[in-house]
Structure 1
Amino acid sequence: MPHVNIAGATLNQTPLDWEGNFDTIAQAIQKAKEVQVDVLCFPELSITGYGSEDLFLSYWYPKKALAYLRKILHLTKDITVCLGLPCRIKETLYNCMAILEDEKILGFVPKQFLAIDGVHYECRWFTPWKAGELTHFDVDGSSVPFGDQVFEKKGIRYGFEICEDAWRGSQRPGYRLRDRKVDLIFNPSASHFAMGKSEQREILVRESSKSLDAAYFYVNLLGNESGRMIFDGEILFASEGKIVIKNPLLSFQDFQLLRIPFSPEKTPDLPVYESRHDKNEEFTAAVSLALFDYLRKSRSKGFVLSLSGGADSSTIAVLVAEMVKRGINCLGTALFLRKIHRSEDIDPKSSLPDIVNKLLTTAYQSTRNSSPETLNSAKNLAESIGANFYHWSIDEEVAGYTAKIETALGRSLEWEQDDIALQNIQARARSPIIWMLANINQALLLSTSNRSEGDVGYATMDGDTSGSISPIAAVPKDFILQWLRWAENKLGYSGLQAVNALQPTAELRPLESRQTDEDDLMPYPILTAIERQAIRDRRSPVDTYLILKEELSLESSVLKRYIAKFFSLWSRNQWKRERLAPSFHLDEFNVDPKTWYRFPILSGGYRKELEEMENLLD
């Protein structure tokens, strides 16, 4: 009976870190040999990293990747290794898997379908391969098979679907592999993280193993590779319509290896994996790992955060604390500190709060419009997690800016006439001093905007939008509010009790005005409902209204007003979204024009479409 030990290895790689990427691959191969793996599959574009962007367009970059493939070749004695890299044939670049065995290249398999939706722009760099075609690729004078092909190891036939290949329904290569009687299909992927996506992959892998009449092995990249996209490092193996094994996701390790004995005649004698999914836990794990990778790959010394005591900044403070806790639990304190380049100035015997104190500096920057409740909320949270906490007033700075413009204009500024300017100057006055603290600490300044604010421009440019990275810009405010309650109860952050008792407010108008975010905008769940129709599903104002009229218990005039406000503010504030700090992709969609939704900076602002909505008869 044919039998092989197969394994998948997920990798946390970085574009242009050639030696670092090579070392991680080499360690994984060595580990595979130690546990007697016969065939080891790495993820898509594992040599270069998936997030190389327009580096793929250069001629030297694929050549460099091929040079490192030659180095890896020397590590493949007595093992078969499959790994991804870009390959250029004349003027055309392909996204390929290279199959190496006993220090020889058996062949290259190029990707047949390219991901071009959402965060993916593969057609900018690569060309899809045509099914059934086979040519040859010259490597050091040797002619290597290149194209649609299958391979054999110890009597077991195997082939590949590369990431997007598997999601193309009846066109997917897997059906042709089934016709070619393969026993095993590998799916090396660079599939970005999104809450709920792991469950979709489980369905794909489980159903593929049944419909393709072959065992199915899925291997994904790991970590915040190059700034925005996060990879969860998922490894899945399914046979006969059942998921047999799955690894823990979003690890802080450089790689994970999952080995399984395989025979086409018998399902491995392992318990069937029990699927469990929780979006709050997925969000927490993903942002914690993304912050860790962003910190270490940028070689920054820590984080600085303007902690207002409100929901957004409090969420980010807790996520940094979770980064430290989860990183230490996964790696141990000494290795965690070494990876973030702080092993020389932080004692590995330090307590968790003491390490958080060294890595997270917060400041409550009050004005006369700030309340004692938000000060108390910020201070208690910072103390509860161990963060360094400062408190200062910016009234003097605000007064100085205001006095200068009043002198120039020859009049006093009044709230009735100058509301937006008087609000914004407070947010902007906070920015220079918190940036100064970040520069002194050689730290990353964390921006606190969420997706709901990005939708409607409810943020001050060069104020609360200032930052090196915006960790929660891809999730809506109503998700944040429920997550904070979950974090208090499930993760044990008692310091969130005061935060969760507050109603979201910018605290930029005088306290007697009782300013709240939802009074300024609309209820957050309604904003999110409109956003999903308008942005995620790309519907017109009329269609958005007709759908939500059936879903929401609102008077027609109120719903129309909210929809008109959303579309008008969305159009007006595209320039803000163009300037927001880089953000992590976390949900099924986001509003970052770099990674999901492009929109013209200047437009007619849906005037005609909103007029059509207003004229609808109820």
Structure 2
Amino acid sequence: MNAFGIVRVASATIRTSVGDPAANAREVVGVLERTEGCDVVLFPELCLTGYTCADLFYQPTLLNAAVDALAAVVEANTGQPRIVVVGLPLGVGPHLYNCAAVIDGSGVRGLVPKQHLPNYKEFYERRWFHPARGEEPAEIDLLGRPTPFGIDLLFPVEGAGDAGRDVILGVEICEDLWLPIPPSASQALAGATILLNLSASNETIGKSAYRTDLVVGQSGRCMAAYAYSGSGPSESTTDLVFGGHCLIAEDGRMLAESRRVGDGQPIERGSYWIEADVDVDRLTFERRSAATFEWPVGPVRPFRRIGVGLGLSERPDLKRFVPAAPFVPANGPELNRRCAEIFEIQVAGLAKRVERLPAGTTLHMGVSGGLDSTLALLVAVKTLDLLGMDRKLLHGLTMPGFGTTNRTRTNAVDLMEHLGVSSETIDISGLAFQSFRELGHSPFGIDARHMNLSAFRAALLELPEENRKDLTFENVQARLRTFLLMSRGFVVGTGDLSEMALGWSTYNADHMSMYNPNCSIPKTLVRFLVLYAANHEFPAGPTRDTLTSIAETTISPELLPTSKRGEILQATEDSLGPYELHDFFLYHAIRWGCPPEKILYLSRFADFSKPYPPALVEKTLRTFITRFFAQQYKRSCVPDGPKVGTVSLSPRGDWRMPSDADASAWLRWAEQD
């Protein structure tokens, strides 16, 4: 495992020689030799003998050979910083148990017997095995040493320092998972973060889908990683065929899945395995954030904790997918449904607010020709259509100023016309110019007291590019736009989640509205949804062309003067850094509580739209942290709006933070460079 609590788990199935434990041990050892980089390696139920030995399980010859095979596996793993879990039958007093042996570099650390034995249809386990009830001996002699035995065992990792403090293994066997309350549920409530299931589940039509749902669902309910290893087709096929299905899930999401019999691929009868890196720190954060975890039920019994050895190691690779755009739906069969769901949540939120307004109330919106106002406009139009109201009740106001370009102004006017809303254009340049004079402000050092507006515009065009910083010049224009909108009536907001996180808004200007359907939509998702609407809802024609042009326009508040050619010089991402990075940071910092060092580590494995130099990534992360802390005061008083995804910064919902909190601890990593 590494310093960020990431544990590499392998789930393996072997070529089984039914009734030949020595051969099976050789297969297990062969897999271990090829999975040296893994921290935990899981094998199937009764893998050292074969699950299908039937009445041979009564034979001392088989049972003794199974123990010898276990010794061979222990010897192969001696001194290794790795945990291995194998299945075998063990006689304990008058009973025979179906057991999982947990092995680390020092030997067998514990034995977990199976609790729930299937004895229906094709299964007859109670013919041979005794179900574990918690009354078994707490310890047995195995391989010449006393070994913990029982259903009350958990295995916390030792030797990995702080990184391993929350890495705790819980073990259950096959049928245990299929119960209404699996043992793994109690193990998770007692602290287990990685749940392991040794299984021998035969294949029948449709069974694999249900099995997958069980594994993924249990990982989600337990807020844990769940690894499942199934016996393969080299088990006896006298009556059944076993599929060799291996799965690794984490917190309700599949990380890795093996091939299996019946998946349409050529059948693999040899040993194979899957690997995935599970993030235990993420699981711990999720459990701490979920106030209902461990309540109202607790573990059914006290658990004994048996330490297992696992060291720290740094790996150049990461065996888990790190999405570069975690807020954006992935391409695939569910893409359309996900996009429709996002729009419907936004529409449903705005619709409830609109229907509480007096009949015939006009909705007002600032339409700039940028991404955010375009998405809000699409949502508002869908809302009026849902409510059976005339689109003309939506009044779009475009308010060009000193930084507005012909492209954005044209796009704004054209889009409103295409969508059939009422629209108006008010040039705010004159009002802003008068405000500067009344305030006694000289924008960029230009004394405007004895100029007219035309002369002032001409002076702005002569400004050198390096002298284009004037916050008052920007804020006056932004507040004038909000003043004009709110003077009309009910205002639909347009600001997005990324801007909220960074405080990229003018207080009591674009920061404010009566309702904001975009408040939990980050910038990368805004762009994606606008393009999605262009390509799926307006597949051809001028609306699609306008939406595409908007999506391709440089992101800018257009509050600073343009170039002499009327081009945008104020590119937001030139000031803040790429929004693609900011949204990546936002997701991992807020959704999963990742410290900055871990965010930087994960960013190395994300496939961004283009390669970013490490220095730029670090600089942008510093900007994100600094602004996120400094701009909380704006988030403390934002308008109502719907939560759409897993991250929200609403002060009434997900995010409560002091406006005067100190970011020093979060920036310490940067000081160490």
Task: Tell me which structure has the larger Cα radius of gyration.
Answer: 2
Q: TM-score, normalised by structure 2?
A: 0.45
Structure number having the greater helix percentage:
1
